[in-house]
Structure 1
Amino acid sequence: MSSKSKFPFIIDGHLDLATNAMYMNRDLTKSVGVIRKKEKDLGWTDFQDRGKGTVALPELRGGNIGLVITTIISRFSEVGDSLDTMALPGWHSPQQAYAHAQCQLAWYREMEELGEMIQIGSLKDLNEHLDLWRNENPDKTKKPIGYLLALEGADSIVNLDYLYRYHEQGLRSIGISHFGPGRYAAGTHSNGSGLTSLGKELLKEMNTLDLMLDLTHQTDQGFYEALDIFQGQVIASHQNCRVLVPGERQFTDDQIKCVLERDGVIGGSLDTWMLHPNFRMNVDNPKQLGIAMERLVDHFDHICQMAGDCTHIGFGTDLDGLFGLEQTPYDMDSIADLHKFEDILSKRGYTEIDIEHIMYKNWLRILNTILK
């Protein structure tokens, strides 16, 4: 599980660690192998990735992934919605959603108590963490994983006062939509809708704080509406290219251009649903379809050609986004394999400087901007 990475660490721009810990009851201080075995031994089948998960804290360290943007997810729905065949339940009041979000935040705090993780909320925090990981003594396998706190879906922001409350708790990135309808914006699988009136107010208020707007999961309409209102740093934490994999979940070339013009970073996702056209969840086999890690580089290539350089891409793997090996490139066993992209990118013609930017420097530039 050890990494041969040349760099101080790799940054992953999107993981759902607290969701896995508190919603799926996974002790992420244990290794992926231990978690898989326990779930198989217990016979758990409530989620498609039981016994097949790929993300835990030991694997992050082993793969030299020393800094992550990681989420709190808590959805509001009065009665539970249904879009096509996708059930989208949620808490029946924003206050319940906020309380559930605070439960996830408490898990991150517990990981800090154990020395497993450390929150990055300021430029001082970021620089100290980078120095720690640059120092080979103590061993990287004993160092805390730095995390920058993000909301994936803003439903748990009860009102604008709670935006400031969250910011004081260390929140530095917000994706105001997720899947389906939301209090602030429509999300994936809600074509034809955009921001709500609450969403427009939220974005205006976000302009007063050092916060990133994560455009991932916005509908096409909401994407452009959000850019018209929000003037700060934009990112797309886990997003691929529609020209390569059709579907409203991916960005069009015009949307990619908009992110580039705002000096944003697009984090490439390793969900095979986003790497192969018409991938059928719980049906298709990544190996039979030849979906290897290198597929992501096709998306990187496309964005780099548009940008003219390699300064706007990074990783936003989403590898713990309620899927596991059944929906992961077949040549990955866990997130610890992320460092293999150094060789994959080199063989595709990327220089060492390019690779350094992709591995961590592009995200680091954004974090330096937002944490200034």
Structure 2
Amino acid sequence: MDKPFIVDAHLDLSMNALEWNRDLRWPIDEINSSEVLMTDKPDRGYATTCFPELRKGNIGLVVATQIARVTRANNNRPGAGWHSAEQAWAQTQGQLAWYKAMEAAGEMVMIKDKIGLENHLSLWQDTSSINDKPIGYILSLEGADSIVDIGHVEIAHNYGLRAIGPAHYGPGRYANGTDATGRLNHKGIELLREMDRLGMILDATHLCDDAFWDAMDLYQGNIWASHNNCRKFVNHNRQYSDDMIRTLIDRQAVIGIALDAWMMVPNWERGVSTPKGMNCNLEIVANNIDHICQLAGNTDHVGIGSDLDGAFGTEQCPYDITTIADLQKIPTILKTRGYTDMDVEKIANGNWLRFMRSAL
């Protein structure tokens, strides 16, 4: 099996384009060299992801995000979020406009239904001209703060939004997320009901424990966890406990393993720790994959949701990743651990594709 097709279930492409001002059509070296003297973001000059590297890595289908948090005006964290839902909505609409511009340029194609999915997969099965193929994307909203009111869910669904993660970091307008506590509020319950009505995918990533269990009880539709690792290895609320993983397995979910170093190795200090200093490599990704497979008793519920360039780059990801094309190293590692070609194919793309065929 040479260079399997890979599905990456979480990439913040529009955020990188608009907030980091990265033209993802450029080669990765050009993106990084353009940022050498910049210090406004901690990952300047350390980007991993662009369209040429996605194609190089045979990563032809991704879940791509819109993202815009809302925080209170008295929050003293610079850049933590917008001060109103209307501002956040406008930001997501700018991100949507960028995706549409990339579609017009032939770089991307939105996948909204099963027919579109199958057509895109057929295109990528021909590997003779991989360098000019569009990257397929399913549109997801990371954190629901930008949903001004419940009526905006259907507006978003109509333009192609297919998945929503109700929470991100801290307290949210609909649900509390990482480093927060508390059950779903009445707006969060209403959000899940509307998503159910529209047949959308619930992304359980970032939900705090209280909200996670509420969502598992309330949501009737399809659930995935686009980018979430195992609490067994990093004991933090951002990761899933074994009980949470088992519940997701029971719900026929797929969990994408993320490559943010602080989620991979304990005691990571942002801006201080280094990947080599903490021995953070892709073997740890394989450990997380294997743990989920052991809990499931099969290889049907795990994939990749790298989150590469999700406000971090090579300064805070496995040291054996130079660009996103290096995701191809994961299948090789799994095979050395005794995973069969069929198992590796499931983890690289098959589990996500099975889920998408059912949910779209």
Normalising by the smaller structure, the TM-score range is over 0.9
Aligned: 1:62 with 2:51: no
CA–CA separation in structure 1 for the residues paired with 2:80 and 2:297: 42
Shift in Å at residue 87 of structure 1?
5.4
The secondary structure found in structure 2 opposite 1:172 is strand
Residues 1:370 and 2:359 aligned together: yes
Could you tell me how far 1:209 is from its partner in structure 2?
1.3
Quote the Cα distance in structure 2 between the aligned partners of 1:171 and 1:200.
Answer: 19
Distance 1:270 1:89, change over 3 A: closer
Q: Quick one: which of 71, 74, 81 aligns to 2:68?
A: 74
Structure 2 residue matching 1:13: 3-state secondary structure: strand
AA at the equivalent of 2:143: G
2:112 corresponds in structure 1 to: 121
Whichever residue aligns with residue 33 of structure 1, its letter is: D
What is the CA distance between 1:78 and its match in structure 2? 3.5
Q: Give 4+ residue runs of structure 1 displaced > 4 Å after superposition.
A: none
Q: What SS does the aligned partner of 1:207 have?
A: helix
Correspondence for 1:162: 152
Please report how far the alpha carbon of residue 222 of structure 1 lies from its aligned counterpart in structure 2 after TM superposition.
0.4
The one-letter code matched in structure 1 to 2:291 is H
Aligned to 1:306: 295
Is 1:49 matched up with 2:43? yes
> RMSD of the TM alignment (CA)?
1.3
* Structure 1 residues 209-245: Cα deviation after superposition (integer angstroms, max 9, x where no partner): 1211011100000000111111111111101100111
Is 2:143 aligned against 1:153?
yes
CA distance in 2, matches of 1:226, 1:81: 27
The DSSP-based 3-state class of the residue aligned with 2:303 is: strand
The structure 2 residue matched to 1:249, chosen from 228, 233, 238, is: 238
Whole-Å Cα distance in 2 between the matches of residues 118 and 287 of structure 1? 37
Number of positions where the alignment pairs a residue of Structure 1 with one of Structure 2: 360
Measure, in 2, the Cα distance between the counterparts of 1:211 and 1:16: 19
Which segments of 5 or more consecutive residues in structure 2 lack a partner in the other structure? none
The question of whether the paired residues in 2 share the 8 Å contact of 1:81 and 1:88 is answered with no
> Conserved in 2, the CA contact under 8 Å of 1:4 and 1:339?
no
Identity of aligned residues (%): 47
How far apart, CA to CA, are the structure 1 residues paired with 2:207 and 2:79?
16
CA contact 1:152–1:174 (8 Å) conserved in 2: yes
Contact 1:265 1:366 in 2 (8 A): yes
Q: 2:217 aligns with which of 204, 210, 228?
A: 228
TM-score between both structures, scaled by the size of structure 1: 0.95
Tell me, yes or no, if structure 1 residue 34 matches structure 2 residue 24.
no
Query: For each residue in 1:124-157, what CA deviation from the matched residue of structure 2 results, as whole angstroms up to 9, or x when unmatched?
Result: 11000000000134x1111000000000000111
CA distance in 1, matches of 2:267, 2:38: 28
Q: Supply the distance in 2 between the matched residues of 1:48 and 1:89 (Cα, whole angstroms).
A: 14
| Amino acid in structure 2 at the alignment position of 1:328 | C
User: Which one of the candidate residues 256, 269, 272 is aligned to 2:258?
Assistant: 269
Query: Of 76, 81, 106, which aligns to 2:97?
Result: 106
> Letter of the aligned partner of 1:168 in structure 2?
N
**Counterpart residue type for residue 119 of structure 1:** M
Contact 1:79 1:89 (8 Å CA) reproduced: no
Q: Structure 2: which amino acid aligns with 1:31?
A: P
Please say if 1:189 is aligned against 2:179.
yes
1:293-348 CA-to-partner distances (Å, cap 9, x unmatched) read 11111111111111000010000000111001110111110101111112111001
The separation in 1 between residues aligned to 2:265 and 2:74, in whole angstroms, is 30
**How far 1:80 moved relative to its partner?**
4.9
